[in-house]
Structure 1
Amino acid sequence: MMYAIIRKRGGGAMEQYQNFKLSIYCTVQDVMKLPDTYPAFLQDLAFFQKHLKLSKVYIETYRDDTVDSEKLLRVKDFFNRAGIETATGITTVNAGSGKGNIASAMCYTDAGQLDELRRLFERMAGEFDEIMIDDFLSTNCACDTCREAKGGQTWEQFRLRKMTEVCRDFIIAPARAVNPKVKITIKYPTWMHSFQRLGYNPETQPFMFDATYSGTETRHTTYSFFRNPRYTSYSLIRWLQSCPPHNNRGGWFDPYLCDNPLNSFVEQAYLTLFAKPEELTLFCYGSLKDTKFIPLLGHELSRMDAFLGSLGRPAGVKTYIPYHSDGEGNVYDFLGMCGVPCDPVAVFPQEPCTVLLTASSACDPDVLALARKHLTAGSDVAFTAGFVRLMQDRGLEEFTAIRLPGAVMRGNYFGAFEGCWDTAVRYNYSGKEIGMPVADWKLNDCDYKAAMFSESMPNPLVTHNNYGGGRAYFINIPDDYADLYWLPDTVLDKYRMHLSRALPVRIEGQAKVALFPYDNRTFVLQSFLEHGTVVRVFIKGDAAELTRLDGGGKIERLYRAGGESVFELALTPGGHAPFSWK
């Protein structure tokens, strides 16, 4: 009879990754299918143990259905005997309301469903010391009782308050009454810009729960309805890490829509780990058992674990996305896919840095006062087209005369330059026609770095005005954000150069190459291309060589110019490369 390979170090402790914990989630349906004898259980687990160093398993108690305590506790004991830590989990969907809510969302004004929720958390706290709440601690219910309770509030206002109350009164309080030491984690899903509409409240909930968790499952980004590029697997976890009290501890992804290309599965792991979380969770046991995903993932996790400890704290272009805001969706993620290392934050930065403001930033009524303070302190602020459109009649003219009258210019001819009248202009055609908002500006009021051209009708893409000790940038964005990928490299280089002005490292090259800088003279490059590519890396100051942190040797400097050391390197298709410099 074949048993699982249980890898242990001296002293009996399970072998683990050095820089993160790896967990797997077992749904109710997975738990029900697990064998009822320990030898058969070990056989079932053997596939995962062969390829992965598992630290923990989340054994779900409820998801449409529930597992009886005898079965649940038997499975808990089996995992513990195999050297794997255990916690439980819950997905708060379809508690039998019969209301037909989208995605089986619960109704949180229904007394019966609230009582069921309370009893589930009392039960879980009595059987486990840790609880993970999967997606859907949210609601879209608009039944008669919900509409009556809502009254004159907006749905956002009502649901944000209601879900905060539900978490306090029907989840945390009853669970801790049963087990005062129970730790409860709320997982936030990938779709951040829908949070407030459905009641997720990252302004209040992180203070209530012991920890938060990030859904980094971007899947196949062409066919998923999440509207996120791959960079979201990094940016969401960074944004949640920025939310006080800064207790986001992990990222969670799955294999759905990732069969072709297979790299779309492991790229989720790469970007989650680039954000330096404590834990990585795989969803789910039944969907990953005996699949091609796990051997590949095991190989890649071991390879990444070898260099992750050398990376410092993530850094980047601080992108201000206030709580409960919306507008321009994940535009910063599309910029991230083009090599602009956007680093979303929920609170406006106080330290010297470049701050990117999108349409979401305009939801803060004090944003222009914050921008003025930041600029006069000597730092840069960049305004996207969406931000300009919303703020052009609300005081933005203090910083720039650019306005967006509402027209769109379509074309494929672009120019990139440092001085708009000099001869060092690079004109290029894009691979397709691109629609850009028409920007109206005052000649010689701003400096132009990139533009779209038509007969007698240049349209600015990157400009700046001097204000105080800083620069106020205008950053034009295509109507289709993914059209950023089609801009000529020379134009994208201007986006990267100027948005990365406060960082010690920047890149030039094709779109779909991301840069992840850290605060200790390290960085990672990640290609999302199906072919190899060459990237130029610019390091501020005198850096003679780059050292690959994964044992790939050293790269010598090409030359120095403009106070930067310039390097050139090749990236493999879909590959990443970590570096340091001195």
Structure 2
Amino acid sequence: MIRVTRTLLGAAALCALLAPAALSSGAQAAPAVKPQPLPAYRNFHAAIYIAVNNAKELADKATFDREFERASRQLHFDKVYLEVYRSSNFATDAEIERVKGWFEERGITVAGGITLATGGEGGQFGTFDYENPAHRAECEKAVRLAAKHFDEVILDDFFFYTSKSPADIAAKGDRSWSQYRLETMRKVSQDLVLGPAKAVNPKVRMIIKYPNWYEHFQGTGYDLEKQSQMFDGIYTGTETRDPVVTDQLLQQYESYSIVRYYDNIRPKGSNGGKGNGGGWVDTFSTLYVDRYAEQLWDTLLAKAPEITLFNWRPMNEAKAVEPGERPWKDKATSFDWKAMVASYKPSGQAGDPGPGWGRAAGWSLEKIDKDLGLLGQPIGIASYKPYQSSGEDFLHNYLGNIGIPIELSPNFPKNADVALLTQPAAKDPKIVEEIKGNLLAGKTVFITSGLLNALQGKGIEDILEVRDTGRKVALHDFLNGYGAGNGESLNDPKRDNPPVLFPELAFYTNDSWGIIRGVANAKGFPILLMNRYGGGVLYVITMPENPGDLYNLPQGVTTEIKRYLQRDFPVRLDAPDRVSLFAYDNGTFVVQSFRDDDTDVNLSLLGAGVKLRDMATGKLVEAKAPDGKADAWRRQGVPARTEFAAAVAPHSYTVYRIEK
């Protein structure tokens, strides 16, 4: 680490200059001053998590020196989280202090870590049984150990509850498992974690890291409503890994959107804490190295203030990172494998394995750091996910993967010009009245077919008479437009898209208007319905039964939906599936492709005559000539926009700036 080395040299030189004078005057030698950590990057901090087995190994000086040398030669980092407990494995006081001291001597901030887990079996995670006195005692012992040695401690994401022992069954009583676990874990948080930690060290800041499966938290006791405010801060698991082969099937956009959601749950400065402290990425289930880089980039594009790399082992192990399957290897992609390899600084020792995961991480972080300073604060379509809610699981991330920027919040977007509400919003008992409020204020509200279904018989009929019939229909052909003689195909003549299964919605003609529709055997089915209420407009988007089928829709369908959803948004992306848009309040935006091929996109900017600059090249992008399509009947009063053609390489991103 060049910067840390400079700090150490500066301190050593200063001591050398002052030491003779001090000794000649008979003064006592001043205590050694630990070098202060310098930021590893300009726009974020970088940390490495060290699991307890690695922490214990590092207590051997030769091991520490060897592993620190390789990690720091590949990767800038200014902080480590030193784990003291995991699955009945405790570090000793001596091991903790020894390793902590060696890192601090090198200018690295050291915080503590705990993983409250019991191992598990058969591939399933094992959690403590919090009705078991022995487990409760071990939990408290681990917390006290960490608080004794550190002023900041993070809980790795196993602080949930899956046990159904006889004691749990008896304690649950008539409550649902979700309610029992939420109430239990609130008490556990206070009685076994926060209380004991503060008793040992009143200055300690306890941070809870929440994982990536946020849709299902309430089922295992994770509480984003109350528990997130009890701790001194929260942290975000942004590992999305491979979106196909892993069992969670998390979409790439979630590495960005989950940070935005947690930021809105625990904003900076709330409850006297630092809010959402950062994002956390691991190397697991990474089939090609670009996927690892994408997770790092998307976490930081969401403006996470810190990135934590899990864990110490892959960052320092004497093993070369494999590129994986990369059919795009000869293209100019954002992750430049050849440049990464060329940037590696060999140790000079025989048998140097070459660049490892540490260098892949370091190179990726160095690249994104150059771009982050250009970007303002993230903006997106206001969307609402109440606490302890679920439904249309992870739909927001699929929408993000078709180019719709989402700003997800646990708070209803009152008076937002445009609000997008999905099925979880039904958890709010006042949701119908809140929708009415926005509409009566002249705003636009989009609801999904899943939310419509959940609100049937609960007052939504007072706004519009549209219902889910319970029947399903497979649609292959799609059209837009309404009114006699209007409409055009949205299908791609170059692509034979597969049939997609949709719920059938019934509506009254001329009360609601079918803006976009699917057609099957001479019968039309609404995909986007418009209904006016008060001074506002309510749209219903019919979602595929499988949200992944959003990727199978013709591009014309998703583009047309975005024309309504993002009518007044500063930038709109017309692209195939798995191309995302990240927008910011200073007129910048990022287009990122998760596709394996070169992709042409169209960028539509709000305003006539605006300019677009590619920040990678510094050059202006030439605007497209208006196509002259006569579609005023379809979008009355639509503000002027300027169109640009662009292209994005496989698994790559480009930063743009809008200029007047």
> What TM-score does the superposition give when structure 2 sets the normalisation length?
0.83
User: Equivalent residue of 1:497, what SS?
Assistant: helix
Distance 1:102 1:509 in 2: 39
Q: 1:106 aligns with which of 118, 125, 128?
A: 128
- Listed as ranges, the gaps of 5+ residues in structure 1 are none
Aligned to 1:45: 68
Q: Does 1:518 align with 2:540?
A: no
Distance 1:183 1:443 in 2: 59
Q: Report deviation, 1:431.
A: 2.2
Q: Does 1:400 align with 2:464?
A: yes
Q: Report deviation, 1:288.
A: 3.7
Aligned to 1:540: 606
Distance 1:58 1:245 in 2: 23
Distance 1:435 1:261 in 2: 32
Preserved contact between residue 218 and residue 230 of structure 1 (Cα < 8 Å):
yes
Report the more deviating stretch, 55-64 or 349-358: 349-358
User: Equivalent residue of 1:414, what SS?
Assistant: strand
Aligned to 2:446: 382
Please tell me the residue identity of whatever aligns with 1:576: Y
> Per-residue displacement from partner, 1:421-480 (whole Å, max 9, x unpaired)?
425444446522211111212222223232221122111111211222222111111111
Q: Report deviation, 1:45.
A: 1.8
Please tell me the residue identity of whatever aligns with 1:49: S
Q: 1:480 aligns with which of 541, 546, 551?
A: 546
Distance 1:99 1:262 in 2: 29
Preserved contact between residue 233 and residue 266 of structure 2 (Cα < 8 Å):
no
Please tell me the residue identity of whatever aligns with 1:215: G
Distance 2:484 2:366 in 1: 49
Aligned to 1:265: 292
Aligned to 2:159: 137
Report the more deviating stretch, 430-439 or 289-298: 289-298
User: Equivalent residue of 2:81, what SS?
Assistant: strand
Aligned to 1:20: 44
Report the more deviating stretch, 462-471 or 325-334: 462-471
Q: Does 1:450 align with 2:516?
A: yes
Please tell me the residue identity of whatever aligns with 2:283: P
Q: Report deviation, 1:507.
A: 1.2
Report the more deviating stretch, 63-72 or 320-329: 63-72
Q: Does 1:282 align with 2:309?
A: yes
Distance 1:460 1:430 in 2: 21
User: Equivalent residue of 2:656, what SS?
Assistant: strand
Q: How does 1:187-202 map onto structure 2 within 5 Å? A: 187-202=209-224
CA 1:147–1:420 in structure 2 vs 1: closer, same or farther (change >3 Å)?
A: farther
Aligned to 2:26: none
Please tell me the residue identity of whatever aligns with 2:647: A
Q: 1:438 aligns with which of 460, 484, 504?
A: 504
Q: 1:531 aligns with which of 588, 593, 597?
A: 597
Distance 2:434 2:108 in 1: 48
Q: Report deviation, 1:345.
A: 0.7
CA 1:349–1:131 in structure 2 vs 1: closer, same or farther (change >3 Å)?
A: same
The alignment yields a C-alpha RMSD, in angstroms, of 2.2
Q: 1:303 aligns with which of 364, 367, 372?
A: 367
> Per-residue displacement from partner, 1:290-313 (whole Å, max 9, x unpaired)?
452332332221121112122111
Distance 2:277 2:157 in 1: 16
Distance 1:417 1:336 in 2: 25
Distance 2:314 2:118 in 1: 21
Preserved contact between residue 415 and residue 441 of structure 2 (Cα < 8 Å):
no
Aligned to 1:574: 651
Q: 1:251 aligns with which of 279, 282, 287?
A: 279
> Per-residue displacement from partner, 1:460-516 (whole Å, max 9, x unpaired)?
111211222222111111111111111111111022222223422111121111111
Percent identity, please: 32
Aligned to 1:329: 393
Aligned to 1:220: 242
User: Equivalent residue of 2:423, what SS?
Assistant: coil
Distance 2:456 2:609 in 1: 42
Distance 2:122 2:73 in 1: 42
> Per-residue displacement from partner, 1:218-264 (whole Å, max 9, x unpaired)?
11110112232111111111111111455112110111110x23222
Preserved contact between residue 84 and residue 145 of structure 2 (Cα < 8 Å):
no
Q: Does 1:493 align with 2:565?
A: no
> What TM-score does the superposition give when structure 1 sets the normalisation length?
0.94
Preserved contact between residue 414 and residue 430 of structure 1 (Cα < 8 Å):
no
Distance 1:534 1:419 in 2: 32
Q: 2:82 aligns with which of 43, 59, 69?
A: 59
Q: How does 1:152-191 map onto structure 2 within 5 Å? A: 152-191=174-213
CA 1:68–1:330 in structure 2 vs 1: closer, same or farther (change >3 Å)?
A: same
Distance 1:307 1:54 in 2: 18
Q: Report deviation, 1:79.
A: 1.1
Distance 1:422 1:224 in 2: 45
Distance 1:419 1:132 in 2: 59
Preserved contact between residue 52 and residue 83 of structure 2 (Cα < 8 Å):
yes
Q: How does 1:353-392 map onto structure 2 within 5 Å? A: 353-392=417-456
CA 1:513–1:497 in structure 2 vs 1: closer, same or farther (change >3 Å)?
A: same
Count of residue correspondences: 575
Distance 2:165 2:306 in 1: 38
CA 1:142–1:103 in structure 2 vs 1: closer, same or farther (change >3 Å)?
A: same
Preserved contact between residue 234 and residue 274 of structure 1 (Cα < 8 Å):
yes
CA 1:481–1:86 in structure 2 vs 1: closer, same or farther (change >3 Å)?
A: same
Aligned to 1:469: 535
User: Equivalent residue of 1:453, what SS?
Assistant: strand
> Per-residue displacement from partner, 1:175-221 (whole Å, max 9, x unpaired)?
11111111110000111111101001111122211110011111111
Aligned to 1:123: 145
Q: Report deviation, 1:167.
A: 0.7
Aligned to 1:82: 106
- Listed as ranges, the gaps of 5+ residues in structure 2 are 11-34, 269-274, 322-356, 629-638
Preserved contact between residue 479 and residue 488 of structure 2 (Cα < 8 Å):
no
Please tell me the residue identity of whatever aligns with 1:14: L
**Whose radius of gyration is greater, 1 or 2?**
2
Distance 1:538 1:99 in 2: 51
Distance 1:79 1:557 in 2: 53
Please tell me the residue identity of whatever aligns with 2:640: G
> Per-residue displacement from partner, 1:312-362 (whole Å, max 9, x unpaired)?
111111121100001111011111100111221111112423211111111
User: Equivalent residue of 2:112, what SS?
Assistant: strand
CA 1:547–1:390 in structure 2 vs 1: closer, same or farther (change >3 Å)?
A: same
Preserved contact between residue 462 and residue 494 of structure 1 (Cα < 8 Å):
no
User: Equivalent residue of 1:439, what SS?
Assistant: strand
Distance 1:577 1:9 in 2: 34
Q: How does 1:555-566 map onto structure 2 within 5 Å? A: 555-559=621-625, 563-566=640-643
Please tell me the residue identity of whatever aligns with 1:542: A
